[in-house]
Every structure is written in C-alpha cells, then in structure tokens.
Amino acid sequence: AVSAMRAVQTAAARSRSVLVLLALACLPRMTQGIHFELQGRTQKCLGEQVERNDLVIGKFSNTENRQLTVTVTDQMGIQLFSKTAPKGRYSITANRDGEHVTCIFNTENVPVMVEFEIKMGIGAKDYSGIAEKDSLKPLELELLRLEDIIKYIQDEFVRMETNEREQSALNASTNSRVFWLSIFSMFCVVGINAAQIYFLLQYFKDKRLKDA
C-alpha cells in the first residue's frame, strides 16, 4: 500500500511538472539577458512590447564600472525611469500597451561591456518572496505559478480574440468605405463625361447656327 501511494505521488508530481513545462512552452520569453560592447559617448536602445499593468524589471551593469545613463520611455515618449550609475535596477508598471524603450548611454570616452537583463509579466514576479512571506510549501508555490501561467495564457487568448474582432470590424468598415467611394467616383466620371458631351453638342450646334 505504501509503495502504491508513493507511485501515485510520483506520478502526480510528474504530471504537474509536465503541465508546468507545457504551459511555459506556450509563453513568450519573459526574461532576456544580453551582453554587448558600447563605444564611448554612444547609445544603444532596446524595445520591448509590453501589455498594460505588466511589471517590468530591468538590471544593468558594466564590467569596467563606468558611468551609464539608462532611460526608459513608453510609446508616447513619456520617460518612466532615468538614472546615471555604473550599475542599477529599475521596476516599473506599464500604464498602457505598446513598445517600451530602454536606452543605455555610455557617458565616458572609453568602450564598456554592458550587461543588461529585463524581466516582464510573470517572469518579473518574485515567487521566492511570495513563498517566504506566505510560508508556502514547494508544491503550493508550484501550483501558484502554474495558476498564474494559465491565467496569463487565457488573457493572451482573450486579447488575441479582441484584436481579431477589432481588425475584422476595421476591415469591414474599410471595405464599406471603399465601396461607396467607388460608387461616388463612378458617378463623378459619368457626370464629367455627360457634361463634356453636352458642351461639345452645344459647341457644334452654335457653330452650325453661325455658319448658317
């Protein structure tokens, strides 16, 4: 009986792990880390598509410990963060959907090797802190993470469906406008041709009267 119980628990644990892996496979990359060389007095900008109310966490540093100026702006050009330091961290919550741009400027005249990492959405959520605060067991924490992932996927499907409906409505509206514009253009062409024929007939009629 004990062996059977352990087998059931092992199978359940494996099933949960498979579910987590499948859910993660459906997600876009939530954490990105890059390394690049930045020449003196130059700037590099990185853009990320962010959804409204998403948490965005960024970390930056450089191996030479030189001063970097880091700014974050949303798609409206509103500055959300700005700091000059050799290394640092920022945490912002997006106020609107759209591309958020992080620009890193090397304030000195020598090249530096920059390390930059950005986390968004679920990837930015501190599950370790939640587990410590709420005294969650590993299984409870795993279930919480899985619940968040599933909710995120559901929200993405709803967002995609909404965008598709809006696009369909826009296409229908555009097609209707094009149709009526074509009808209007056709009447304009017919009217112009009719006017030309009328004036030509009047011209030849007047000319015949003068010749007579």
First to last CA, the chain: 124
How many C-beta neighbours within 10 Å does residue 54 have? Answer: 20
- What domains are there in the chain, each with its CATH number? 30-125 (2.60.120.680)
pLDDT tens digits for range 129-160: 888 888 888 888 888 888 888 888 888 888 88
pLDDT at 74: 94
pLDDT at 2: 47
pTM of the model: 0.64
pLDDT at 105: 98
pLDDT at 11: 47
Tokens linked to 69: 């100026």
Residues 6+ apart with CB under 8 A from 106: 38, 39, 40, 41, 42, 43, 66, 68, 112, 114
Residues 73 and 39: their CA atoms lie apart, in Å, by 22
Which positions of the chain have pLDDT values less than 50? 2, 4-5, 7-9, 11-12
3-class DSSP assignment, residue 142: helix
At 48, which helix (H) or strand (E)? Answer: strand 43-50
